[in-house]
Amino acid sequence: ATKIPFRLNQNQALLTFEDEEVAQRLTKMSKHCVNLDNITANVTVKPFELDMGFQSELHISVSGKKIKVSEIPELPIPEDWMRDKLELHFYKTEQAEGGGEVENVTYNKDSGTAVITFLKPGASYNFVGCTKYPFYAEGRWFILSVSPDFDFHLRKFQPYCRVSKKTILLKGVPEVEEDEESVQDMIEIHFQKPSNGGGELEKIKYTSRAAAYVCFEE
């Protein structure tokens, strides 16, 4: 789940109810008189909205013609020789249900990686089930790592406003002598009573001395 932080400022409270109708009702009432021990506090309920967010769809597809090869050994031979050896090696693997005829080889000596492009569509699917391939060069055997080549496409990228329909933001809680936990309990008791328009609470967070960050899960 995506965690979305919200800054709760000093002398504010967040209340999340089990029933979203309770939260909507309290928001419409706006002004509330809360008994905080010997003080009657006039507090304000505000609609609760998180910061602007973004949503999108990530589409991932496996290339039918390309594979990525890594852990290619660094050998004292020219780069074009290594490209030829890789091309020949993966062409020969057709006999073992490999790729077959190679259209192009892009080789990076510094990173020890290459991208092999086959001529036949769907040839790369034969490599999905096996990630290690033996490779013979300069009189030695090496093990190459092979993985599919993925195409990533981001679609339907758009901003939206995230709203928690079951949560209200309480502002204007006065500073009192009681400790923070006691004030939170008194706020909870007030907003749980049906006579005050409230109902059962899932969560409550009140801060009196400093700002706090509250995380919501999407």
**Residue 159 clears pLDDT 70, i.e. is over it:** yes
Position 108 scores a pLDDT of: 93
Write the class of the CATH domain 57-155. alpha beta
Three-state SS at 177: coil
Position 95 scores a pLDDT of: 47
| 50-64, 77-91, 160-174: range with highest mean pLDDT | 77-91
Position 167 scores a pLDDT of: 92
Kindly tell me the sign of the dihedral angle through the C-alpha atoms of 175, 178, 184, 190. negative
Domain residue spans of the chain:
3-54+169-217, 57-155
Chain Cα centroid distance, residue 16: 23
Tell me the residue type at 108.
N
Position 184 scores a pLDDT of: 92
| CB 14, CB 8: distance < 8 Å | yes
**Residue 93 clears pLDDT 80, i.e. is over it:** no
Q: What is the mean pLDDT of residues 95-114?
A: 82
